[in-house]
Structure 1
């Protein structure tokens, strides 16, 4: 029996080793970053909201809570280091959340370079279409909030040892523009949270019509609860309920 051989394969050139992308920079990694930072931010929003509502219990209760926050970490950490570590972590989480969302959005557009000839206006919710500029508004609000009620640089009071007085002075009727900006930021957070929570609930398996309705309702309840909780204080000061 004779075996026939095919043509000799051409010589193979030098092997080029390509650098693999870091797992955290992949789409799955970026979505994981968004999920983790999103959960951390929601937990912070809930805890911070509960603390803010102590203003309705009076000046003594609110100031005691604020001073307790400043003393966290003592004697291991000096002064208010724990608070500033937490604030830095919050800022990093916001930046990581925005950066991940931006990269994912750019990759999505790059994967579909040809736009639709006709795209219905109803495609996507209002929150989904405004996630990008909404993130910028939230970031600016976080920075302003830190300079206002945390460091006191933008607050009309000069005594940081009286947090309740700082809140009342901040949302006084003559400073209506602060309340307006605060309201815009919180409403933006609400839209952002509603869309993000709905997406998260759907990712957990709520993809049937009944499950989607449940996910939409749960996301709406969460967003409305947090938004109302945060807006209660400035409007209570504005109307004289907290003074």
Structure 2
């Protein structure tokens, strides 16, 4: 009787969703949109550096006090961080597993070497790796100060940003990562819309245009900061 009970037990909905290809694509779409929302807010905050030292440092301080007095100091910021870490991990795991399934489904190489996807699609995997490595470097540089050059100063984010982009390698790492981000967003937003069933014959053109605009605006917005430091606009 015990064996029969175990045999008749059905997997949970969450388990069924997780193991299916459609489920993994849905998880990637949802987590991708969460990260996209964060990127828009993060870019907006970064651009405050153009309003001067006080404005940028006050914004960085506000990030740690938002939600007060209901939430304690940095609680809201840590909630955002935890949500982002979960989203990044789920996104990365699903991307890896889907990639392995794709390779397993076609173990032999194609006879015709004709490109089967756009440039952005074909660089999504490498772009994801570049972004993952960049996130680690970015945290160690401007959050913990572990790899920061010029002497990391806690509580002085404006000067820390200027220090980072006063080095050629800091600019190269950041700009290359932002270009990879633009390609990732361009393809990812479109893929998420298709996975979530938003696209159709009449909306596809608008969705593609939106993906292009988002990719362009976010890339330009993020790259504007190191370029401003390099050219002396921000110093």
Normalised by the size of structure 2, how large is the TM-score?
0.86
196, 211, 233: which is aligned to 1:219?
211
Please list every run of 5 or more consecutive structure 2 residues that lacks an aligned counterpart in the other structure. Answer: none
Please list every run of 5 or more consecutive structure 1 residues that lacks an aligned counterpart in the other structure. Answer: 1-13
227, 230, 233: which is aligned to 2:222?
230
Q: What SS does the aligned partner of 2:212 have?
A: helix
Number of equivalences: 226
1:37 shift after superposition: 0.5
Moved more, 31-40 or 196-205: 196-205
186, 194, 208: which is aligned to 1:194?
186
Q: What SS does the aligned partner of 2:152 have?
A: coil
The question of 1:241 aligning with 2:233 is answered yes
Tell me how large the CA RMSD over aligned residues is.
2.3
1:34 shift after superposition: 0.5
56, 62, 70: which is aligned to 1:68?
62
Q: Which position in structure 1 is the counterpart of 2:110?
A: 116
Task: Select the structure of larger CA radius of gyration.
Answer: 1
Q: Which structure ranks higher in relative contact order (CA pairs < 8 Å, sequence separation ≥ 6)?
A: 2
The question of 1:17 aligning with 2:7 is answered yes
Map residues 1-243 of structure 1 onto 2, 5 A cutoff: 17=7, 20=11, 22-23=15-16, 24-75=18-69, 78-120=72-114, 122-155=115-148, 156-172=150-166, 175-203=167-195, 204-208=197-201, 211-243=203-235
1:140 shift after superposition: 1.1
| Cα offsets for 1:65-99 (capped at 9, x unmatched) | 00111223445655434424422332221121111
> 2:225, 2:26 → 1: CA distance?
34
Q: Comparing both structures, which one devotes a greater share of its residues to helix?
A: 2
| Cα offsets for 1:102-123 (capped at 9, x unmatched) | 1112222323344322131x32
Structure-2 change in CA distance of 1:35 and 1:49 (3 Å): same
Q: Runs in 1 of length 4+ with deviation above 4 angstroms?
A: 18-21, 73-79
Q: What SS does the aligned partner of 2:7 have?
A: coil
